[in-house]
Chain A
C-alpha cells in the first residue's frame, strides 16, 4: 500500500506545564496519516478540525443552535457565569470551543441586555493554567476582564443531593445564574462508559476534591454518573441553571453545536451519535495489538488525541467499554489479589514523550512498569523531575536525545514495529506505515461488527434503541 506524508496536527497553546514547542513527530519521514473517514465511511464530514480559518463557521453554528434557546431567566440586571471546562481547550487546539464560548456571551448580551456575563474557567490546577487559557484565547477582551479560574482545591460549598451531601466549588456558582458551556469529547470511555457523559462537569470541573474522589474511587464505573446527575438535579444547581451549549464532535472533527435547557435531551443525542462513531474507533483501537505510542502535543499526554481518541483509551481499553453487562472495564476498583487496580493494556510496549505536559495532576508514576517510557530531552526530563504528581516517574523512565531515538529504542525493546502518535489530531491518525496497514486491514470487520452486533446492544442498554 502506498503511504503519503503525514498531515500536521492542529496548533496548540504553549504552556509552562510542558516543554518549549518542538517539531512534530508527523514531520518524520517514517510517518503517515490514515483518514478516519477512509476507515469508517459512515462518519459525517466535520465543520472544522480546528483550523483558525473555520471559526466563522463555528460562530454561525453556535448562533443557529442558540436561536431557539429559552434565556428568559436572565435579565439585564442578572449576573451570569459561563462555565467552561479545560478539556475543551485541548480539543483540536481549543479554538473551536473558545469560539463557541465567546459566541454564547455575545448572544446572551444581545438577547437579554445582561451587563454582567462572566467567564469561569474550570481548570484542573486551577489558576496559573487558567491564566494561560485566558491569555491565549483572548478571553479578557471578549469578557471585559470578567474572567476567573477555579480549581478543585478552591473554596467549596456543600450541596444536598438525592444521594447525600456533595461538594461543589463555590466560585463556579457565585452569580445569579450559570450556563453549562461544554464539549462532548468522550475521553475516558472505559471509565464513564458513555452513561450521562454530558453531566460529568458537575462532579468534576465544577466540583471539589471530595466529589471527584468519590467519582473516581468509590463508585463503580457504571454507576459513577449518578453523582453528576444528582448534583445537576439538586435544588442548589437547578436554582441557578439556565441552559447548556455543547460543542459536538466525532472522531472526524467538530460536527456542530447542540444547545437547549434540556441537558438530558442533549445527552441522549450525544450518546447515540458517540456509540456509532467513537464506538467504532474504540473497537478498532482494541484491535491494534502490540505497539508503541508517542505523545506529541500541548496537553497532558493522557488526554492527547489520535483520530479523536485519547491516549488513555489505548492504555486501558482492552475490553468493550460500552458493554454495560461488564461491571468494570478499567478503573480504580480493587480486584481481589491484584494490588495494582488500574488495569493497563499490556500490548502497549512503550511510550515516547516528544512533547506533552508533565503529570500536573495526572498520576502515571507506575506506568513505566507496564509500558517503558522514553522522555525526549533533558529540558523535558527536568520538568518531570519537578512534577508533584509523579515524584518517582523520572527514575523509572529513560531520557533520550531525540524522538527518533526514543521510537527506535521503544520498538526494539518492545518487539514491535507499530507506532501511533497522539498529537491532537481529529480526522486522521498519525502513525507509521505498519500501523497504518493494521488499521486499514481491521477497520472493515470492526465496522460490520459495530453496525450489526454491538451498536444495537449498546443503544438498548441505554434505553436508546
Chain B
C-alpha cells in the first residue's frame, strides 16, 4: 500500500510529516493549479512510503488515503553485507540479541539492524528505509533501534524534521537499575518485593534460571 494526498482536503497542518517513520512526507507551497485553499500542502515521496499509516491515523482532515502498490517491493539489508564480528559487538553493546526479532512486523533481527547501521544508516529513519523496521506497529522495536544507534555512536542524530515526534530520546531500561553490576540500593528499597536480582541476571544474558516448568518453550 502507498499513501495518496487528497489535495483539496489537506490544510498543511504538518501533523503527518511529524509522525511518518520514513520521513516520506514534506510540506511545500500549494501550486495555483492544485485544488484546496490553504497556502501549504503536503507532498509524498512515493518510494519512501512503507505503508506505516501513521499519517492516515493522525490526519485530522481525512486528507490521506491508501492505495495498493502497482509494483510491490521488498525491503531489507543482507546480514552478510557487514562484518559478523562487528554486528555481534554492536548488538552486545546495545543490549539486544543479534538473532532477536526486534521488529516483529517486518521480521527484522538485531543483526540486520546492526548491519544496516554499519552500512551507513545512521538515523532511525535511515534505518527504517534500509530494513523496513519501525514501519508496522512502530512500537516494539522503537527503543532497541535507538539503543543500537546510540551504541554505534549515532545517538545524536538530529530529529527529522526538527519539530517531528517520530522519536524522542532513550527511555530508562532495566539494566540502568544496576550500579556496578548489582541492583542499586535505592531501587531495591523502592521496589521491594520484585525479584530484581533474578530478572536482571536474565536480562544480562544469564539464563541459568530460565527453566520454565511443565511447558513447551
Contacts and interface: CB of A to CB of B under 8 A. Distances in A.
B140 A388 contact: no
A345 B57 contact: no
Interface string A202-227: 00000011111110111110110011
Contact of B19 (A129, A153, A195, A386): A153
B142 A213 contact: yes
A217 B99 contact: no
A127 B68 CA distance: 22
A167 B104 CA distance: 22
Interface stretch (B27-35, B46-54, B82-90, B149-157): B46-54
Given A361-B139, A391-B132, 6 more contacts: A167-B168, A213-B171, A226-B177, A333-B202, A340-B101, A361-B137
B130 interface: no
Nearest to A364: B104
Interface in A132-175: 151-156, 158, 161-167
Interface stretch (A33-41, A99-107, A322-330, A440-448): A322-330
A46 B141 CA distance: 40
Contact of A328 (B18, B146, B212): B212
Contact of A209 (B167, B195, B216): B167
Contact of A222 (B51, B52, B177, B194): B194
Nearest to A209: B142
Interface in B97-143: 97, 99-102, 104-107, 109, 132, 135-143
Interface residues of B, number: 75
Contact of A158 (B104, B141, B168, B211): B168
Contact of A223 (B60, B144, B199): B199
A338 B137 contact: no
Given A218-B95, A220-B199, A389-B105, A212 B136 contact: no
Contacts of A211: 171
B172 to A, nearest CB: 3
A343 interface: yes
Contacts of A327: 195, 198-199, 202, 209-210
B165 to A, nearest CB: 5
Contacts of B165: 153-156
Interface string B65-94: 010100000000000000000000000000
* 10 closest cross-chain pairs (CB), A and B: A164-B172, A220-B199, A318-B215, A334-B97, A363-B104, A213-B142, A213-B143, A339-B99, A209-B142, A223-B199
B155 to A, nearest CB: 13
A392 interface: yes
B137 to A, nearest CB: 5
Contacts of A323: 213
Interface of A: 125-129, 151-156, 158, 161-167, 195, 208-214, 216-220, 222-223, 226-227, 229-230, 318-320, 323-324, 326-329, 332-336, 338-343, 345-347, 359, 361-363, 365-366, 386, 388-392, 461-463
Interface string B173-210: 11111000000001100110111101110110101011
A327 B194 CA distance: 11
Interface of B: 1, 18-19, 51-54, 56-60, 66, 68, 95, 97, 99-102, 104-107, 109, 132, 135-144, 146-147, 165-177, 186-187, 190-191, 193-196, 198-200, 202-203, 205, 207, 209-217
B140 A363 contact: yes
A163 B177 contact: yes
Nearest to B53: A388
A210 B168 contact: yes
A166 B176 CA distance: 13
B136 A319 contact: no
A390 B10 CA distance: 28
Nearest to A224: B174
Contacts of A341: 97, 100-101
A342 B190 CA distance: 30
A335 B217 contact: yes
B144 A217 contact: yes
Nearest to B100: A334
Given A219-B173, A389-B136, A334 B209 contact: no
Nearest to B214: A319
Contacts of A388: 1, 51-53, 105, 135-136
Contacts of A386: 1, 51, 66, 68
13 contacts: A156-B165, A210-B142, A210-B167, A214-B172, A223-B174, A223-B195, A326-B212, A329-B215, A332-B100, A341-B100, A343-B217, A365-B107, A388-B52
Contact of B99 (A214, A332, A334): A334
Contacts of B101: 339-342, 366
